[in-house]
Structure 1
C-alpha cells in the first residue's frame, strides 16, 4: 500500500544525549527530515539527557499525544546508555524483528561485526509505536530509510483497527 492509503499520523522525536544541543543534533534533524519527506507531522521534538527517569518521562508524555515516537541515541553498551532499559517497560508488545533487521542491514551495508553492539528497539503501547535507534546519522538514515518509513503507516494502521 502507499502512504496515502492511510490516515495522517503524528510523531514525537526524542534525542537522548548529554552533549547534543538543537544546533548539534544531526541525528534528530535527520529523523525529522525523513518524517517530513513522508508527510508525517513532527508534533514534538526534544533533547533529554541520558537518564533513565528523564527518558521514561519524555516517552510517557509523548505516548498520549502521538502515533509514533522515535528516540535516537543512548542505545549502545556504555554504562550511560539506558534508552532501551527505560523504554522497554513502557511498551506492551515488542517487535523483535525491527532490531534484528536493523542489525542485519548494519552488518551487511555499513559497520560489519560492530553491528552486534547496536540495541535498536521497537515496541507498541496501545495505539502508539515506539522506535529507539542509535544516534549516529548513518544509523538514523539506515533505520529511517530502510525500515521505519517503509512500515510506520502500516503499523499505525494495525494499531488502530
Structure 2
C-alpha cells in the first residue's frame, strides 16, 4: 500500500451537536470542530444539531455510518453525568471496536491543560464502525479545541488509512 494514500486522501467529516438548547447560531462547539477540520484540509460532509434524545442521536449516527461520503463522525455534547447526557449510551452500542486510548488521553490532557480534576466527569470516547471513526466529545469549546488539536487532527489521516486500507487495491 502506498503511503501517499494515507496522506493524500480527502477526509470527510460528519459533525453532530447534541443539545436541547443550541441552534446553528449558538453552536460554538460544532462550529469549532468544522473550522479546525477545514483548516487542516478536511471536508465537512454533513452537520446536524439534535436534541438530547438517545434514539435521535443513534439514528443520525447510524445513517451517517451508511454514507459513502462520510469517513469520520464527530459528536459534541451530552458526555457528562447529568440525566440528559445520553450521547455515549446512544452511540457506544454502534462501536465494532472501542478506541479506549482516546478517552484515556483526552481525560489526561484535559486534567493537565484545561479543567484539572473536573476531567474525571468527562465520558469522551471513540470507536469504529463500518470502516469509520467515531469521536464522542464534550460540547465546550475548550474540550473541542483540546480534542481536535491534540488528539484527533494529528492522527486522523492515519486512523482513516488503517480503517480503509483493506478496501484499497494492493500494489
Q: Give the structure-1-normalised TM-score.
A: 0.97
Specify the alignment match of 1:160 in structure 2.
164
Alignment of 1:146 onto 2:147? no
Partner of 2:26: 24
Instruction: Pick the structure with greater CA Rg.
Output: 2
Aligned partner of 2:85 in structure 1 is 81
Question: Given the superposition, is the C-alpha separation of residues 21 and 2 from structure 1 closer, same or farther in structure 2, using an over 3 Å criterion?
Answer: farther
Aligned mates of 1:147, 1:135 — CA distance in 2: 16
CA distance in 1, matches of 2:99, 2:6: 24
Who is 2:107 aligned against? 103
Corresponding residue for 2:35? 33
Q: Secondary structure at the match of 1:160?
A: helix
- Runs of 5+ unmatched residues, structure 2: 166-171
C-alpha displacement of 1:91: 1.1
Q: Cα offset for 1:124?
A: 0.2
Q: Structure 1: give runs of 5+ residues left out of the alignment.
A: none
- 1:75 is paired with a residue of what secondary structure? coil
What stretches of structure 1 move > 6 A for 4+ residues in a row?
1-4
SS where residue 46 of structure 1 aligns? strand
| Equivalent residue pairs, number | 161
RMSD: 1.4
CA distance in 1, matches of 2:97, 2:6: 26
Secondary structure of the 1:23 match is coil
Contact 2:5 2:161 in 1 (8 A): no
Contact conserved, 1:13 with 1:71, CA < 8 A, in 2? yes
Q: Distance between the aligned counterparts of 1:44 and 1:98, measured in 2?
A: 23
For 1:4 and 1:53, locate their aligned partners in 2 and report how far apart those are by CA, in whole Å.
34
Question: CA-to-partner distance for each residue in 1:134-159, whole Å, 9 max, x for gaps?
Answer: 00000000000000101111000000
- 2:54 is the alignment partner of 1:55: no
